Chain A
Amino acid sequence: MKTVASFALPSRVLHWVMAVMILAMLLIGVSMASTVGADYDRLVALHRPLGSAILVLAILRLGNRLHTPPPPLPRDLPPVMKLGAHASHVLLYALMIALPLVGWGMLSAGAYPIPLLGQSVLLPPILPHDPMLWAWLRWTHTVLAFLLFGVVLAHIAAALFHGLIRRDGVLRSMLWREKP
């Protein structure tokens, strides 16, 4: 068994908490955007604060990533795979930050109030009221969300490829710490 150092504990906790949140948000998002049922406003009322929490966590996580670099990939990993890994990780960080910002921005441009918890806490608008911009950002929110889902699927498949096919310790490095 080849060994790869593990991610630090804070990195692992952030990774798994956010993995669950992001998958939940993707499912909540597509289900609310395709229903006029009684759940619609409940799902939207959950989507806004959960999405905002992802934005906060993603920024913390980017700081953590720059502060605590991840363990290196196995030396024998083919360069294309290394490139793919790095590119997809950059894309994941970019989308985790851009998607909630677009959600917040589009509701601002559409002049919607943005309540978070019940009706007490309102997020301030981050863009001026502009209906054309609202339409454009609402479209962008869908496109980026679908892109994020695609990258997440590829990411999961790649992790399982490391864990089950290559068995090179990369999957384990995000799961638990190797006993020395």
Chain B
Amino acid sequence: MKTNAHATLASILRWLGVVALPAVLMLSFLWAGGWLTPSRLTQAAMLDALQKGGGMQSGFRRNHAKGICVTGWFDGNGNASILSTATVLQKARVPVIGRFALAGGLPYQADAPGKVRSMALRLSPSDGQEWRMGINDIPVFPVGTPQEFHDLQLAARPDPTTGKPDPARMRAFLTGHPWLQPAMVQIGQRTVSSGFGDDTYYSLDSFLLVAEGGTKTAIRWAMVPVQPAVPDGSHANDHDYLFHQIIDDIHAHPLQWRLMVTLASKDDAIDNPSKEWSQDDRQIDAGTLTLTGIESEENGACTGITFDPLVLPKGIMPSADPILPARSAVYMRSFYLRSGEHPTAPAISHEMTIPSANAKDKKS
């Protein structure tokens, strides 16, 4: 009797031994994948917030959905080459694929002066050391962390009855985040240029240049237009006036921007894109971007890639800015989802980008 009980107990223990290790591994897997921690900020949660805050259309980018492809080149002048070994910053010309866009997830939204505009670029030197960037025409980013970005999207989501953000919800977000007040004010008070072509675009996030000997320099940069900036004036009651204008401009003549690199000084926040840097920082003119071609997203080369800000060449590194890894992760997920969907025709069609006799008439 006693030995029998012993044998049963031993057998139970042995079976437990068989199950224990797989069970522990299963739990580790579930934990690592975030299934046991629903509060973890995931790619899916960020895309969900973007969809609620700025809309979404299947087949299009989950943010900056309305856009147009451009092509051209970048001429590095070597001025920044003491600070970075990146091939794109040496004295050389590299081909560029780019994209202008309006912030927000709705690809058919109407152009308007106050909407945030963006420039995205992929600089491809022949050695494969690519530099991709997505840069916006606001002086600072409204938030400093992915969680704040997520919460701001939810706070800004349109009220179903009015179609506008609920002012009470926005106020609650702002009172809960008083440290973001200066950034909001700076964004609200920025001067708005007439279009994509005379706009200045900022990296907002900070990066590190790495020199030959390994010295690191924290930087931000801006693409500053060579063509004079014209203040936003009156424009025809045209749903796509910004895009019509950039199409006409590029067909008329190449557009150029200077890559102005700003070096951080002692008190500049390296890890927070919502904080402005000192006006006295040293700046380096590192090269010139020239855009000569423009195409619809229907057939342009910018559609099938994502401008992941962590696709960096040797010689440029991410800073500790927490927005950067979040962008890399979410852009990849957005690119994955939209690439598997069937988009409808974009607002800016192929026909609209063909230089027409009509467009030439308008300019003469």
Residues from 5 to 55 in B contacting A, C-beta threshold 8 Å: 14-15, 17-19, 21-22, 25-26, 28-29, 32-34, 40-44, 46
Q: Report the separation of the CA atoms of residues A136 and B314 in the bound assembly, to the nearest whole angstrom.
A: 30
- Check B21 against A160 for contact (C-beta < 8 Å): yes
Known: A31-B34, A135-B339, A136-B340. Contact between A129 and B43, CB under 8 A?
Answer: no
Q: Report the separation of the CA atoms of residues A138 and B334 in the bound assembly, to the nearest whole angstrom.
A: 12
- Check B339 against A134 for contact (C-beta < 8 Å): yes
Q: Report the minimal beta-carbon distance from B280 to chain A, rounded to whole angstroms.
A: 30
Q: Report the separation of the CA atoms of residues A135 and B146 in the bound assembly, to the nearest whole angstrom.
A: 25
Q: Report the minimal beta-carbon distance from B331 to chain A, rounded to whole angstroms.
A: 11
Q: List 24 A-B contacts (CB under 8 A).
A: A28-B32, A31-B34, A32-B329, A34-B33, A34-B34, A34-B43, A35-B41, A35-B42, A35-B329, A36-B325, A37-B146, A38-B322, A40-B325, A119-B129, A120-B314, A122-B128, A131-B303, A131-B335, A138-B336, A156-B21, A164-B15, A164-B18, A165-B14, A165-B18
Residues from 30 to 74 in A contacting B, C-beta threshold 8 Å: 30-41, 44
Known: A27-B32, A135-B336. Contact between A119 and B22, CB under 8 A?
Answer: no
Task: Say if the beta carbon of A144 comes within 8 Å of chain B.
Answer: no
- Check B21 against A36 for contact (C-beta < 8 Å): no
- B interface list, Cβ under 8 A from A: 14-15, 17-19, 21-22, 25-26, 28-29, 32-34, 40-44, 46, 128-130, 146, 303-306, 308, 310-315, 318, 320, 322, 324-326, 328-330, 335-337, 339-340
A126-142 interface mask toward B, CB cutoff 8 Å, 1 = contact, 0 = none?
Answer: 00011110111011000
Partner of A40, one of B313, B329, B337: B329
Query: Chain A: how many interface residues by the 8 Å CB criterion?
Result: 43
Q: Report the minimal beta-carbon distance from B194 to chain A, rounded to whole angstroms.
A: 33
Q: Report the separation of the CA atoms of residues A149 and B29 in the bound assembly, to the nearest whole angstrom.
A: 9
- Check B41 against A36 for contact (C-beta < 8 Å): yes
Q: Report the minimal beta-carbon distance from B298 to chain A, rounded to whole angstroms.
A: 13
Q: Report the separation of the CA atoms of residues A12 and B64 in the bound assembly, to the nearest whole angstrom.
A: 52
Q: Report the minimal beta-carbon distance from A36 to chain B, rounded to whole angstroms.
A: 4
- Check A36 against B311 for contact (C-beta < 8 Å): no
- Check A30 against B29 for contact (C-beta < 8 Å): yes
Task: Say if the beta carbon of A113 comes within 8 Å of chain B.
Answer: yes
- Check A157 against B34 for contact (C-beta < 8 Å): no
Q: Report the minimal beta-carbon distance from A85 to chain B, rounded to whole angstroms.
A: 16
Task: Say if the beta carbon of A79 comes within 8 Å of chain B.
Answer: no
Chain A residues, Cβ within 8 Å of B303? 131
Partner of B33, one of A30, A122, A156, A160: A30
- Check B324 against A157 for contact (C-beta < 8 Å): no
- Check A164 against B14 for contact (C-beta < 8 Å): yes
- Check B42 against A34 for contact (C-beta < 8 Å): yes
Q: Report the minimal beta-carbon distance from A111 to chain B, rounded to whole angstroms.
A: 5
Chain B residues, Cβ within 8 Å of A21? none
Known: A36-B41, A36-B326, A157-B19. Contact between A111 and B314, CB under 8 A?
Answer: no
Chain A residues, Cβ within 8 Å of B128? 113, 122
Q: Report the minimal beta-carbon distance from B145 to chain A, rounded to whole angstroms.
A: 10
- Check A41 against B340 for contact (C-beta < 8 Å): no
